[in-house]
Amino acid sequence: MKPRIETLPKKFLIGKSIRTSLTNNKTAELWQSFMVDRTAIKNNISTDLYSVQVYDKLEYFQNFNPQTEFTKWAAAEVNSIENIPNGFESFTLEGGLYAVFLHKGPANEFKRTFQFIFGQWLPNSEYVIDVRPHFEILGEKYKNDAPDSEEEVWIPIKKKY
């Protein structure tokens, strides 16, 4: 699983967010709420959906604890953050350098991809993790728990010094 390295331009998202952790995972609740109302978002750029994680500090990964909370977003990319529907919020995904991995398989096997990225690829690469949002793009090939599901995993990086 070799990533592609990309410089992401700034993106504007509209969605919903929740504070969650791996042990008190509220992802399903967040996505259910988002999917019910997402047709209210009128200025979508594509049908792709974004699952964004905003970690409060880099220490989230250095001193990993599955009880540590972070902010999770379910969102769609839009061409502007004007006219935000009721119940939604805007989020600006700042640009920057990302390693992009392809996760193949059901969502419940994501742990395998996560372990490869942080346990094998990152320590042996010329990069370190950067303090910016992590996200997945759920495109046409995303099928949640299907064995042939695919999603892009975007990890913020910077060159080692």
The residue extents of the domains of the chain are: 4-159
User: CA 44, CA 80: separation in Å to the nearest integer?
Assistant: 9
8 Å CB contact between 69 and 26: no
Neighbouring-strand partners of residue 70: 20
User: CA 48, CA 28: separation in Å to the nearest integer?
Assistant: 18
Residue keyed to tokens 């996505």: 31
DSSP secondary structure of 56-97: S-THHHHT--TT--EEEEEEEEES-S-SPPTT-EEEEE--EE
How many Cβ atoms are within 10 Å of 72's Cβ, its own excluded? Answer: 21
Dump pLDDT digits (tens) for 135-157: 999 989 988 888 899 999 999 99
Strands 70-78 and 11-20 come out as antiparallel
Give the three-state DSSP class for 37.
helix
pTM (two decimals): 0.91
Is pLDDT at 58 greater than 70 in this prediction?
Answer: no
Q: Which CATH class is domain 4-159?
A: alpha beta
Averaged pLDDT score across all residues of the chain: 92
DSSP secondary structure of 89-158: EEEEE--EEEEEEEEES-GGGHHHHHHHIIIIIGGGSSEEE-SS-EEEEE-TT--TT-TT-EEEEEEEEE
Dump pLDDT digits (tens) for 78-87: 999 988 999 9
Dump pLDDT digits (tens) for 61-103: 777 778 888 999 999 999 999 889 999 999 999 999 999 999 9
